[in-house]
Structures are given as C-alpha cells and as structure tokens.
Structure 1
Amino acid sequence: MTDDKVKRRLTTVLCADVYGYSRLMEADETRTLETLRRYRTAIAGLVERHDGRIVNTWGDAVIAEFASVVEAVQCAVEIQQEISNQDSDPPDANPMRFRIGINLGDVMVDGSDIYGDGVNIASRLQELADPGGVVISSSVYDQVHNKLSVGFDCLGQRPMKNIAPLTSYRVTMSGRPAGQGSFAVNESPTRWEEAGQLRMADRHEPSSWMGVVSGWLAKLPRPVAAALTVSSFLILINLFTNPHKIWFHWPVAAILFGVLMRTALGHRPESDSKGER
C-alpha cells in the first residue's frame, strides 16, 4: 500500500446545466448572470437540505454529490420546482431552464473533487433531459423507483458521447417531465401509477415504443430476452421476404423450446438431480 493510491467511493452524482446558456448570454449578459447567481443560491440551499454537497460550479454547471440516492432525486425534483416557481411574472420570453442528470457510480476522489465515469455519466444524462427535466441512470432507478412518489419513463439505451450506451429513465410528475408546472413531492404513489398508465396508453411514437420494449426486455432473463429478440427478427424476415410461405414457426419453436428446457434445468430442485436413496 502506498500513500499516493487513488481513493475511490460509491456516490450519487447530480449534474445540472443551463439549457441554451450561450444564447441567453448573447441576448442579455447582465440579466443572465444575475439569474444564474440567484438560481445557484437556491440550488445550494436545496442540496444542503438533502445532505448533499456542491462539488463544483464551473461555467453554468453545478456538480453535487449525495450519500443517499433517494435524497439526490428528491433534491433534483425540488430544484426544478423551485426554478419554475421563481419565473418572472409576466413570463420571461427567454426563461432559464436547467437540465439535470443523476448517476450512482464509482468515482475517484482527489481532495474535495471527484472524477471518473461516475461523474461523466451524470453529465451525459443531463444532456438527454428536457429543459426543466431530470434523467436518471438505471442504477439510480433500481434504488428509487419504489421509494418515491414520482413516475418514470424508460428512455431505453440512448447513445452518449464517449460513454457506452446505458438504460436511462425520465422522471415525471403528474403526466409531465419533472420541473414543468407545480407539484407536491409527497403525493400518493397510486396517482402517479395511474398517470403513468395513461401516458403509456396515449403513446404512438415509434421511439417511445422502442424504449418501452427495450426496458421490458432488460428486465427479463438474458436467455429469454435473446430468444425473443431472435424470434422477432425471424418473423419479420419471413413476413417481409415471403409472406405467402410461412416458415418462421419451425426455428422459432426450436429456439423457444431450447430456452424453456434450459430454464427448467436451471431451476430443477436439488432432490430431483440427486435422486432418492
């Protein structure tokens, strides 16, 4: 062991960034800077309230870390609510909106700074968020989806610059992305579940359906997901190349039978394999 060994820890990283900051600065530098300072003060207070700490505030971004995943997501939702509530009246033609990404991951520690993929992923997730919205990684979703009174929309695996694709989720409140409109954090889970079902029923965009299917397959055992994917491709190939001659049922049946046998053998009781003596 040496004194210069890199220190690591598992932490929850929140990255918030102003959407269209350059455009806002070009339109009105003084007003934009004043607004940014006001919002940063509000963000710092909410981070402290949820037992987090501000790591960095370079440029128009804010990096914070939390020991609790739940507190990090609650903080993000309250940040978007607070910014929405501080909007000028009458509404500003160019309001300042933050996008927030949250990731639970391993980071390298250097004094009060943190580095590594755990931070980079949070930064890339915020780029996927809508202005005024929050996007979380699958590692965060696994920890909070049954602990918070909010909804989640699966975005599937979106490409991110210099980061391997990973499944992400949009945080939603009352049928809209977090931060759009007023809401209460502690409303009943049943309401959000019903709202989520309505949103799913109203979706017709191909990208949304692909995200839902991708999220559903990700929850299945890997052999089952692979078998269903291959079977779907075989069915599509048959229908598009020669719809008058059906042949896909034989290879699909063989694939599904093999998966069922593998699953059955994998869950065979120990007494069956050893036999009675």
Structure 2
Amino acid sequence: MTKGRLERRLAVIMATDIVCSSRLMEADERRTLDAIKRLQASIFSPNIDTRGGRIAKLMEDGGLVAFNSAVNAVECAISLQEGKRDFPRTLTPAISTGRLGVGHLVRRWQSV
C-alpha cells in the first residue's frame, strides 16, 4: 500500500447563510431561489473573488469560503453586507456572515 502525503495550511473560514431561509422558501420558493441566485452571482462570488477567497462549499442557503488572510475575510464579510443594500429589501434575503474561524486545512495528496 502506498501512503499519501498530508499537506496543511492555515486558513480563515467564513461561513455564510441566508437568514430564515426555510421560512422564505415556505412562503415563496421560486422567488426565494431566484433572489438567492441573484445574490450569489452579483454579490457573493464577485466579492469573494476580489478578496482572494475560495469557495469550499456552496449550498442553496449558504456557503463556506476559505481565505489566506483574516483581513480579506472581514473585508469580504463587510462588502457582502454592503452589497446587498442595492437590492430591494422585500426581494433580498438577509445574509449572515458573522462566523469566521481560523484553522488548518488538510489536503491529502496521493503518491504516484
């Protein structure tokens, strides 16, 4: 059996989610999904890319994003909150970006 090599690197993880997404989906599923798609395409992804983040996991109502810098993660969280102001309040789900964590990411590389 060949053994793989573990590679570790320090990262800042930002967790985001849509506030009350279950309630919003229950009230109007199509409208909520459309609003989430618009937020992801026009605010979420561009702000993450601009600040050097990498989307680790994206779900309908949230995501996990890795950054190499805590400053970039905080700037991204602020810009997400500011960016959603451009959408009409009645059409915009609230984005929660209050959770940042620092830790090691482990990636396993297979030996050739």
**Partner of residue 50, structure 1:** 51
Which structure ranks higher in relative contact order (CA pairs < 8 Å, sequence separation ≥ 6)?
2
Q: How many residues align?
A: 106
**Partner of residue 98, structure 1:** 95
Alpha-carbon distance between aligned partners in 2 of 1:34 and 1:84, rounded to the nearest angstrom = 17
Task: For residue 104 of structure 1, report the CA deviation from its aligned partner.
Answer: 1.5
Q: Deviations over 1:122-177 (max 9, x none)?
A: xxxxxxxxxxxxxxxxxxxxxxxxxxxxxxxxxxxxxxxxxxxxxxxxxxxxxxxx
Task: For residue 76 of structure 1, report the CA deviation from its aligned partner.
Answer: 0.5
SS for the counterpart of 1:57 is strand
Unaligned runs of 5+ in 1: 112-277
Task: For residue 81 of structure 1, report the CA deviation from its aligned partner.
Answer: 0.6
Runs of 4+ in 1 over 3 A off after TM superposition: none
RMSD: 1.9
Going by fraction, where is strand more abundant, 1 or 2? 2
Task: For residue 110 of structure 1, report the CA deviation from its aligned partner.
Answer: 5.2
Alpha-carbon distance between aligned partners in 1 of 2:32 and 2:47, rounded to the nearest angstrom = 21
Unaligned runs of 5+ in 2: none
**Partner of residue 77, structure 2:** 76
Contact 2:4 2:108 in 1 (8 A): no
Q: Which amino acid aligns with 2:48?
A: V
Task: For residue 30 of structure 1, report the CA deviation from its aligned partner.
Answer: 0.7
Task: For residue 29 of structure 1, report the CA deviation from its aligned partner.
Answer: 0.6
**Partner of residue 4, structure 2:** 4
Gap change, CA 1:58 and 1:52, over 3 Å in 2: same
Alpha-carbon distance between aligned partners in 1 of 2:96 and 2:9, rounded to the nearest angstrom = 25
SS for the counterpart of 2:59 is coil
Instruction: Name the TM-score, length of structure 1 as normaliser.
Output: 0.36
1:32 matched to 2:29? The reply is no
Going by fraction, where is helix more abundant, 1 or 2? 1
Task: For residue 56 of structure 1, report the CA deviation from its aligned partner.
Answer: 1.1
SS for the counterpart of 1:102 is strand
**Partner of residue 18, structure 2:** 18
Gap change, CA 1:110 and 1:20, over 3 Å in 2: farther
Task: For residue 97 of structure 1, report the CA deviation from its aligned partner.
Answer: 0.6
**Partner of residue 60, structure 1:** 61
Matches within 5 A, 1:1-277: 3-41=3-41, 42-86=43-87, 88=88, 91-92=89-90, 95-100=92-97, 101-109=99-107
Q: Which amino acid aligns with 2:18?
A: V
Alpha-carbon distance between aligned partners in 2 of 1:24 and 1:72, rounded to the nearest angstrom = 27
